[in-house]
């Protein structure tokens, strides 16, 4: 047990250094922050510029705030988790680093635990930056970060599997796109009720809805049961896919 913890700790140190030194990883970390800054500049003051006052201004501003916070959550998870994990693992396979680790008696589970933990930490850190750029109230931050971490779990698990399945970085690019697009679906829910209904059942649809309830102060109401169930279902599904495939994929590589 102690040996396993020491190996995982060494892998975490290595993966953190790779995250900082790798230009692709840095771009993945900075993209959600850049988009949030752009969103804030473009639509952050829309309600005020429209000449609304009183209750109308408060209502529209609240919807804009929820959209900005939800977009930050979805982009943090979709961009960071998918790109950092899928590209990172694919790059290590190209350089034969992953094979070297396996030959050095480092288990696939230890590699997955390290990379998944580092990716989750990066998602939460980027999510915190997006939260403040979106103008979130400080009191909402703990709930926001908890929902970000919860929503990231299935995406991290699936990205680990897709990273192991990638032959090279070109394949990784192909695999990361659908993960990113699926993560961003909830942000289009404002377009129509039909899209909003479908988006609620996507991997991040549950946490997106839970965030809206938290913003309105209704997180502990009965309305949170369905989004929470959807979120937990995706987490369980991600764990099942990971458990079923990662051993075979790691062995094949």
Mean pLDDT of 35-52: 69
Element (H, E) at 143: helix 141-165
Distances (CA, A) of 56 to 39, 116, 137: 21, 44, 20
Give the total number of structural domains in the chain: 1
Maximal C-alpha separation, the chain: 66
- The per-residue pLDDT for 218 is 87
- The model carries a pTM of 0.87
Mean pLDDT of 69-95: 87
Q: Which domain holds residue 204?
A: 2-252
- Encode pLDDT of 192-245 as tens digits: 888 888 889 999 999 999 999 999 888 888 999 999 999 999 989 888 888 777
d(CA 209, CA 211): 5
CB 166 within 8 A of CB 65: no
Q: Residue 56 CB: number of other CB atoms within 10 A? A: 12
d(CA 176, CA 155): 11
Supply 17's token pair. Answer: 């250094």
Distances (CA, A) of 241 to 22, 89, 153, 238: 28, 17, 12, 5
pLDDT of residue 46 exceeding 70? no
User: pLDDT tier at 143 (50, 70, 90 boundaries)?
Assistant: very high
Spatial CB neighbours of 142, under 8 Å, sequence gap ≥ 6: none
Mean pLDDT of 19-27: 82
Element (H, E) at 23: helix 23-43
pLDDT of residue 57 exceeding 60? no
Please count the residues of the chain: 253
- The per-residue pLDDT for 97 is 74
User: pLDDT tier at 50 (50, 70, 90 boundaries)?
Assistant: low
Q: Residue 153 CB: number of other CB atoms within 10 A? A: 23
- Asked whether the CA dihedral 41, 42, 44, 45 is positive or negative, the reply is positive
Nearest to 19 by CA among 117, 159, 135, 151: 117
Q: Rounded mean pLDDT of the chain?
A: 83
- Asked whether the CA dihedral 113, 233, 29, 209 is positive or negative, the reply is negative
- Encode pLDDT of 158-174 as tens digits: 888 888 888 877 888 88
Answer with the residue of higher pLDDT: 133 or 50. 133
Supply 110's token pair. Answer: 């230890």
Distances (CA, A) of 67 to 186, 230, 237: 10, 20, 27
Nearest to 97 by CA among 5, 17, 179: 17
pLDDT of residue 4 exceeding 60? yes
- The per-residue pLDDT for 166 is 82
Mean pLDDT of 103-132: 85
């Amino acid at each position: 047990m102690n040996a396993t913890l020491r190996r995982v700790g060494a892998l975490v140190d290595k993966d953190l250094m790779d995250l900082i030194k790798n230009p692709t990883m840095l771009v993945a970390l900075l993209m959600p922050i850049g988009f949030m800054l752009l969103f804030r500049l473009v639509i952050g003051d829309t309600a005020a510029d429209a000449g609304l006052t009183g209750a109308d201004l408060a209502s529209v501003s609240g919807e804009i705030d929820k959209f900005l916070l939800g977009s930050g959550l979805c982009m943090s998870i979709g961009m960071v988790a998918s790109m950092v994990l899928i590209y990172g693992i694919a790059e290590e396979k190209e350089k034969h680093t992953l094979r070297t680790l396996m030959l050095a008696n480092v288990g696939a589970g230890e590699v997955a635990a390290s990379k998944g933990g580092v990716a989750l930490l990066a998602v939460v850190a980027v999510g915190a930056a997006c939260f403040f750029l979106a103008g979130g109230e400080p009191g909402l931050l703990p709930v926001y970060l908890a929902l970000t971490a919860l929503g990231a779990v299935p995406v991290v698990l699936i990205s680990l599997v897709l990273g192991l399945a990638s032959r090279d970085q070109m394949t990784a690019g192909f695999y990361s796109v659908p993960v990113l697009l699926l993560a961003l679906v909830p942000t289009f829910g404002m377009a129509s009720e039909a899209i909003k209904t479908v988006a609620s059942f996507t991997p991040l649809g549950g946490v997106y809805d839970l965030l809206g309830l938290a913003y309105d102060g209704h997180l502990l109401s009965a309305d949170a049961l369905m989004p929470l169930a959807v979120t937990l279902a995706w987490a369980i599904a991600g764990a099942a896919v990971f458990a079923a495939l990662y051993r075979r994929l790691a062995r094949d590589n």
